[in-house]
Amino acid sequence: MSNIVASGPGSVEGNGILMCSIDNLPAQLPIGATEYFGDRLFPYIWEMLPSDATRPLEEEDFSPQVRDAVITSNGVLTPKFEYIEKLREKRLRDREKAQIMKKAGMKRVLLLGSGYVSGPVVEYLTRDEKTQVTVASVMLKQAEELAAKYPNTIPVMLDAGSQEGHLDSLVKDHDLVISMLPYSLHPLIAKHCIKRKVNMVTASYLSPAMRELQSSAEEAGITIVNEMGLDPGIDHMLAMECIDKAKADGCTVESYSSFCGGLPAPECSDNPLRYKFSWSPYGVLLNTISPAIFLRDNQVVSIPAGGSLMESSVPMDFLPGFNLEAFPNRDSTTYAEPYGIQTAHTLIRGTLRFKGFTKAMAGFVKLGLINSEPCPLLQPTSAPVSWKALLCKQMGLFGMLSDESVLHADSVLAALAKHLEAKLSFGEGERDMIILRNDVGLRHPTGELETKHISLVVYGDPSGFSAMAKTVGYPAAIAARMVLDGEISTKGIVVPLTKEVYEPTLARLKEEGLHFVSKSTVLD
């Protein structure tokens, strides 16, 4: 036994006697002491016997002595013993830090997220034996499985949205952060990167909240690369490569269209949606009720939120064998200025699906399934409810007339995303594919009209990376390497629209087997 005094954050608080022993105290203490302790405890037995562990501690009729001795109640540490969790967290963080900092002279990359597209990021970066990757994920087992495949890779547990202190500590110990988390978390992560003067890469759209961090990032002297995936990402780079070359030849851009889709390979499109998930199911579903704006023949076309998008699809025949359809995506008109194509009379960016997707999704919308409003019926505290209780006969093809309970979720949309993720996931031996198509209409100085057709078709490897993982993960990893090596040195918010970024990136993507095909149609 010894007298102990609090020595810092996370330590035992206050003065007192610290007694160290094993659980079986009578085996370690003299019998006299055992009898003494027992006699002192015995009077309190009677008030403890009628207690009910399922009731809140506040409802128990305990004396102060007994109440102060309760360590946990209803699965939560009581206030006087919350320091135990602090000690646990501190020891865990100390072990993580020691592991991360174990090897000197390494470039350290923090990868946030261990999901669909993280594999190629780790694989690419760890080819360099002087690069170490920390995979931080709320799904620790998934992070551990990913880390086990590659050298110099460390898995850690992190819920970035609720563990800001841990997030900040991890950011501080790394040279660069790659976020593959939902875009809504990126401003939070970016603020910690700015605070710690650490560079950052994401594959997500540049949101208004991220754009507002431009001056802060510049002042911190860091680079934050956004939109470095497939769509957005590769689509931008292929567009700018074509547009810059056309302008150098004296051409004027009269039209621009870009359509992209992550799809199952045709032989795997065996369900009413003709679709399987290769990225966030929730994001895929939410996109179907989003608004869209595009430019057609100098007229701005606006599609309101709420499901009208699924009634605005058109067939796409540039690859007739695939039987594709497309619908607009987000606000395409915002790209006229950054692309430098204010002369274009038509500007549209959209999503590709196999024909039949939008018709089926329109049915989901009309049934109220694509609803992100909170649903009390589906909260964890609510009684189980079956799909049969929520849906009608038309949904039978999706297994929703069964007595299977609906998974707890915040909303009907979230519950549907969980359900369809299980029903429409890729099976063993199945592969996905991505199709990207850019069409750029050019007016030559001679008056000749040419349309450049730029296509990318990538299939996933059933025993390796999916097409979606490759086309999102590799661009992000390449950008990270370029930032680490000083090839991208611009400070502040960066998107891949300049030759200094897109030229080396596209060249390296070709080295990874992503080959782009360019053709032309000329009208006199």
Closest CA to 234 of 406, 438, 415: 438
Closest CA to 210 of 227, 196, 198: 227
Residue 233 C-alpha from the chain's centroid: 16
Structure tokens at 157: 């547990």
Which 3-state string (H, E, C) describes 185-220? Answer: HHHHHHHHHHHHCCEEEECCCCCHHHHCCHHHHHHH
Q: Are strands 199-202 and 176-179 parallel, antiparallel or unpaired?
A: parallel
User: Rounded to the nearest 5°, which phi and psi values hold at 502?
Assistant: -70, -35
Closest CA to 300 of 258, 344, 267, 339: 344
**Angle at the Cα of 178 (from 134 to 244), degrees rounded to 5?**
145
Task: Output the CA–CA distances (angstroms, integers) from residue 433 to 238, 265, 279, 436, 467, in the order listed.
Answer: 19, 5, 12, 10, 5
Query: Are 506 and 475 within 8 A, CB to CB?
Result: no
Q: How many helices (H) and strands (E) does the chain have?
A: 17, 21
Catalytic residue ranges = 231
**Cα separation, 377 vs 385, whole angstroms:** 8
